[in-house]
Structure 1
Amino acid sequence: MKGNTKKSAVVLSILISLSLIAPPAWAVPAWRDSGDDSKRTGRPVDADGDGFSSRKDCNDNDPTVYPGAAEIAGDGIDQDCDGADLIVEACVDADGDGYTDPACGGSDCNDADAGVYPGATEIAGDGIDQDCNGVDLAATTDSTDPHAGLTYADYPGNCLSCHNDEAGEMMESTHYQWLGETPDMVNQTGVRQGKLTTAVNSYCINIEGDWPVCGTCHVGRGQRPDEAADNAQNVDCLVCHNDNYASQRTRLADGSMGVAAPDDSLVQNVQRPNRANCLSCHAKAGGGDAVKRGDLSLATSTNTDRNFDVHMNSAGANLACQACHVFEEHKVIGKGSDLRPTDDISRGAEVSCLTCHTDKNTREGHETAKINDHVARVACQTCHVPVYAKVATETYRDWRSHHDGSPADASALPGHPYTEKLADLIPTYRFWNRTSDNALLGDDASRTYNADTDTWPTSTPMGDITDGKLYPFKYKTAMQPKTRADHRLIALNTFEYLKGSGNVNTAIAQGLTAMGYPPDEPYDWVLTDTYQMLNHGISPAANALACADCHGGIDRMDLQGDLGYALKADRSSVCIQCHGTKENKSFTVIHDKHVKDKQYDCSNCHTFSRPERGLAMNGVGIED
């Protein structure tokens, strides 16, 4: 269970999705493999599923190539089948400012205005994003820069003199409190939860005893939010409003958070948060770059590759985080399935793709009808995040050993636990109804124990084939200590482990004491697991999953074995509801015959229904 057992499948699926190799033989019916299904239908086949048969499609092995497709200049490929590639010269710098339109692979967010380009001087409050960073600069009432004369020695008082209300907003946010309301949790709904107190995960387990390390990513100036005598003075404005400060911020000798050698430019040059500010913490969660989330890394702040992230690449859309994670009064929407608090109850936790892609959940939203059949039950991310961990992410952690594999015993030195990291991974797929069962400190872990996998979950998405949409997740495991008698996951003192003796037995004893147990309470080592929803690293539409990626085999997802699409009885019993046993044909042929042609609802053959599709019941059923 250490690592990813589908490594070879990752490579195969990626190659298939990029059309570098043909799908395996088992994914293609015999008539389709021949390039001609005239024996069955009298019509040529559309091999790549782009809506054009091989008679009209100049490359029927590439779904991005068909008559009328968007042409990419200078790539040597005739996408629109007009007989020639679009010459690069046709993609010009229309406004002559030295930057071309994103459609040409450039980074000019308005190629009709010579005053708008990456790095242009921003004009505050005019509603125009001159420097293409995703936001306009806030207006000021002064004719001169109000920050020009500020000194770092007066920080944060000089910020609070004008922005005390904003500091008050921050103090009420989940970013500062590390606690919040939990309407999306099925475990102790209504109880304020968060990493400051009761949250348990498969990374550093719990914050108990380790504010000095865990608190380095808090948006305060060093003190815990529940211990700061003056909360407003503890708000660290610059960690979000100056990216140079954010990149240098560290725990200082006096326990405060700040910059070792600050200068006045840090308070004089402030800006709205950008990706670098956000990722200075969010990309390094869990102990290092890309360790925790699997779809965020420091490279996300500066990458120029659309294949790395179609939304957050500086040569393309170049979106700021808050373009999707919209802030109101310093409270933000959006969170993963493994995060407990909802910051803004009035707006909820979901960031919807439909805010920008307004029609994509309709029956006509995509050009391919087959895709439109899926939108009610399959999340956008499922098709548009075909791989994750473009920078290697942690897939397994073991506190019994240090990072070099040596035992974490009395002979050890402090350091990070043993971890395994992998890159370019296939997601794990689960139905999710947007509620989760996440572990809390003091929980009876046997409540969620999974005997099939012998794992003790710390975060589980709720839902099934009848409840929720299919989402992609990072799946990660860890070896953690658990009390033997009453099954409580132990919040070992990670500061003792990481910065103190490095002895895991000492760290566990201290953790037991903090939890109210004797230091010698018997315990066992158990395997925990967690699911973390994937939302970033969206690939270009041309690289989205194709039908065969999911329906051609079980390398990517086992629809029948894992996800609930099995027949409600053995095949022969299901078939004779309406007719005798038929020739054993491919899934695509059988599915199209019954659903597309006969308009039968799924419940005729399966244990679930799809009422949103308006299909018919045939009146014959088998007892479940």
Structure 2
Amino acid sequence: MTLHYSELPARKGRRFCFVGLLFIGLFSAVPVVAAPTADHSQFDALQVPFSDIEQINAACVGCHNVAEDQLHKTLHWQWDIALENGEQYGKLNVINAYHPNIASNSQACGSCHIGFGLAKKITDGIAPAAVDCLACHDTSGEYFYFRFHQDGAECAMCHDDGADAMKQRVKTQGEKYTLSLRAMAQSTGATSTATCGSCHFYDGGADGAKHGDLDSSLFDADFAVDVHMSADGADFTCSSCHQSIDHQLFGSRYQAHSVGDDQGVSALTGARATCVSCHGDRPMQDDKLNDHTDVIACQTCHIPTYARGGIATKTKWDWSTAGDLNRSKRPKVEVNSAGRVSYASQKGHMEYGENLKPVYRWFNGAMVFKAPGAEVNSDGVTLINEIQGSSQDGISKIFPFHQITSILPYDTQSQQLMPMNLAGRSRDAYWNGYNWPKSLKAGAKAAGIEFSGNFDFTESQMSWPLNHTVAPKEQALSCNACHGATSDGLLDEVEGLYIPGRRQHAWLDRYGVLALLVTFLGVAGHGTLRAYFGWRRKQL
């Protein structure tokens, strides 16, 4: 006899319903790769011989008719975001330690923008325009190269001036431009690590330069490099954690959840781009380790070092030394033993590092960023962004960071950091004329600030929170890494922190043993004397 659901006893029905809901809840927290519901090679609109990529995107929005409006409202399009405290952040408003601003470099920066035809000067926002759909949805692997070269992007923006290491990697990737634009359009599909990484892995001037935990090693990650993105691990793509609604992606560093956020994956909005949302706040089998999660972020132990994938990240950039030309008055490039550019006339001296230990700070998830024209710290290092949090606020946790030091230009009269005009056709662009006064004057004008004409260079520092390249649990920090006598001061710079078992001093140990010995001898001597005089009293 077949027993239908309606015939189940009430208790069994409730049990069946509970188990079903449990399975639905479990699987809703696991990224699922859905089968595509459309074959773009069959659409009539994509059968024509396209002459440029703008035509492709016009065909895309013919069907996806609300996508453009959605994207125009996102941080990816606007480079501008208003926080709850009223601050305006995003690439449009802040300064960084790499290519410090976009106000006068927007056309070069626009090579990664998901639209076309950015103005030469952008200060008030990016107007709605045609959206570049294939920037994120190409699956052929070739569109990215076509887009960059069609737009005439400055080679130095990504190739770090022809570094040998980059040349070798390009050689192993095979020939480019083997597909027609029509074939690229017909290969449209879901986003991937390759499409996200084509921009985010190469920003800051080279592969892996900027963040320290984002580079091309994640395209086909080893398990030891990243347990989440490795095919031998969870086999995630970027969107597994950075999910979206109406093209608005979650997990921006400007709108990051607090590190104290303990909410799980949402049934409505999906992943929250936090460790705890999937793993919970007590994920380990050892209760003593779980007791640390109230003050230690998951990343602190599980990203013990960064830049581990064989690709170095930048640790120092000295713009003050740029402009040194060869005997023929042409730009020159010097390469280090690892094949990375150590000096380029366009950029000055650069230093790199691999397998680096993070810098640790209290972090509540928020940062304060400097804007072009920010005042420099005349007494020391100018912080381009300031990490927010303390041991006393009840929500901060100890978090790992990548730090880069940059030597940047500033106005010696106003004591302001100066934006630089680097790229473009004008002779005012530094990469054309190698003239700092002209470059700084043009950059300041584009950013709407004054420049006195007097400048020098100052040391600055920028910090990036580390969230990617999570190592296997066997490589996580051990107890002795923080508590042992040989911890090498791992957390010494974290203020307001007491760690039992560290900072042992040999002289203190010797005096401690001596004190114990003196105490023992004193007690033993006192006891001996009491016993002796007690015996004497009995003899009298």
Question: Normalised by the size of structure 2, how large is the TM-score?
Answer: 0.69
Are residue 241 (structure 1) and residue 163 (structure 2) matched?
no
Q: Return the alpha-carbon distance in structure 2 between the equivalents of residues 553 and 284 of structure 1.
A: 40
Report the Cα offset of residue 515 of structure 1: 4.8
Tell me how far apart the structure 1 counterparts of residues 351 and 39 of structure 2 sit (CA, whole Å).
Answer: 53
Q: Which residue of 2 aligns with 1:269?
A: 187
The separation in 2 between residues aligned to 1:552 and 1:416, in whole angstroms, is 42
State the alpha-carbon separation in 2 of the partners of residues 268 and 584 from structure 1.
81
Q: Give the letter aligned to residue 509 of structure 1.
A: K
Tell me, yes or no, if structure 1 residue 297 matches structure 2 residue 194: no
Partner of 1:465: 391
C-alpha deviation, 1:540, in angstroms: 0.6
SS at match of 2:212: coil
Structure 1 residues 149 and 412: alpha-carbon distance in aligned structure 2, compared to 1, 3 A threshold: closer
Q: Deviations over 1:291-342 (max 9, x none)?
A: 1010011121123x100111111343210111100111000111337999xx
Partner of 1:312: helix, strand, or coil? coil
Change in Cα spacing, 1:229 to 1:331, as seen in structure 2 (3 Å) is: closer
1:211 aligns with 2:106: yes
TM superposition shift of 1:194: 1.8
Residue 223 (structure 1) shift: 2.3
Q: Deviations over 1:375-420 (max 9, x none)?
A: 1111100000001012200000111224xx9379995636333211
Query: 1:433-461 CA deviation, whole Å, 9 max, x = no partner?
Result: 11111101233344xx7x5xx20000121
1:507 aligns with 2:442: no
Matches within 5 A, 1:85-234: 135-140=33-38, 149=47, 151-153=49-51, 154-183=55-84, 189-196=85-92, 198-224=93-119, 231-233=128-130
Q: Report the Cα distance in structure 2 between the residues aligned to 1:377 and 1:145, rounded to whole angstroms.
A: 54
Map 1:383-398; keep pairs closer than 5 Å.
383-390=301-308, 391-398=311-318
Deviation at 1:509, TM superposition (A): 3.4
Q: Which residue of 2 aligns with 1:541?
A: 473
Mapped to 2, the partners of 1:486 and 1:350 lie a distance apart of 43
Aligned residue type for 1:457: L
Aligned residues between the structures: 418
Structure 2, unpaired ranges of 5+: 1-26, 155-175, 258-267, 332-344, 504-510, 516-540
Q: In the superposition, relative to structure 1, how do residues 439 and 408 fare at CA in structure 2: closer, same or farther (>3 Å)? A: farther
1:143 CA drift (Å): 12
Q: Name the structure 2 match of 1:400.
A: 320
Q: Report SS of the residue matched to 2:60.
A: helix
Aligned equivalent of 1:429: 360
Distance in 2 of aligned mates of 1:338 and 1:556: 34
Distance in structure 2 (CA, Å) of the matches to 1:240 and 1:310: 24
Contact 2:96 2:384 in 1 (8 A): yes
Could you tell me how far apart the structure 1 residues matched to 2:269 and 2:387 are? 21
Q: Aligned ranges for residues 429-508 of structure 1 at < 5 Å?
A: 429-446=360-377, 451=379, 454-467=380-393, 468-495=396-423, 499-508=431-440
Distance in 2, Cα, partners of 1:315 & 1:177? 37
Is 1:309–2:226 an aligned residue pair? Answer: yes
Q: Give the distance between the partners of 1:143 and 1:524, measured in 2 at CA.
A: 57
CA distance in 2, matches of 1:584, 1:366: 41
Distance in 2, Cα, partners of 1:339 & 1:498: 35
- Are 1:326 and 2:222 counterparts? no
Following superposition, the deviation at residue 230 of structure 1 comes to 8.0
Which secondary structure state, in structure 2, belongs to the residue aligned with residue 500 of structure 1? helix
State the alpha-carbon separation in 2 of the partners of residues 230 and 180 from structure 1.
Answer: 14
Mark the CA change 1:506 to 1:140 in structure 2 (over 3 Å): closer, same or farther: same
Amino acid at match of 1:522: N
Aligned to 1:279: 197
Q: What's the offset of the Cα at 1:155?
A: 1.6
How far apart in 1 are the matches of 2:129 and 2:447?
31
The residue type equivalent to 1:214 in the other structure is: C
* Structure-1 separation of matches of 2:123 and 2:443: 21
CA contact (8 A) 1:246 1:277 kept: no
1:465–1:182 distance in 2 versus 1, CA, 3 Å: same
What is the rounded CA distance, in whole Å, between the counterparts of 2:272 and 2:456 in structure 1?
38
**Which residue identity does 1:355 align to in structure 2?**
S
Q: Deviations over 1:557-616 (max 9, x none)?
A: 45455432259xxx9xxxxxxxxx97699xxxxxxxxxxxxxxxxxxxxxxxxxxxxxxx
Between Structure 1 and Structure 2, which shows a larger proportion of helix residues? 2
Alignment-mate amino acid for residue 481 of structure 1: P
What corresponds to 2:168 in structure 1?
none
Aligned in 2, Cα 1:254/1:426: closer, same or farther, shift over 3 Å? closer
TM-score by length of 1: 0.60
Partner of 1:367: 285
| TM-aligned CA distance change 1:529 to 1:293, over 3 Å | same
Q: 1:134 to 1:213 in 2, by over 3 A?
A: farther
Paired residue secondary structure (2:293)? coil
SS of corresponding position for 1:155: helix
For residues 513 and 346 of structure 2, the distance between their equivalents in structure 1, rounded to whole angstroms, comes to: 62
Deviations 1:77-108 (A, max 9, x none): xxxxxxxxxxxxxxxxxxxxxxxxxxxxxxxx
Mapped partners of 1:302, 1:137: distance in 2 = 22
Q: Which moved more, 1:140-149 or 1:150-159?
A: 140-149
In terms of mean alpha carbon deviation, does 457-466 or 311-320 score higher?
A: 311-320
Contact map agreement 2:201 2:208 (CA 8 A) in 1: yes
Structure 1 residue 464 displacement after superposition: 1.5
- Unaligned segments of structure 1, at least 5 residues: 1-127, 184-188, 341-345, 572-580, 586-624
Where 1:485 maps in the other structure, the secondary structure is coil
Residues 242 and 271 in structure 2, CA contact (< 8 A), matched pair in contact too: no
After superposition, the Cα gap between the structure-2 partners of 1:562 and 1:271, relative to the gap in structure 1 and judged at 3 Å, is: same
Change (3 A) 1:168 1:518: closer
**CA distances 1:170-199 after superposition (whole Å, capped 9, x unpaired):** 11110011111224xxxxx31332212x21
State the distance in 1 between where 2:110 and 2:353 align.
27
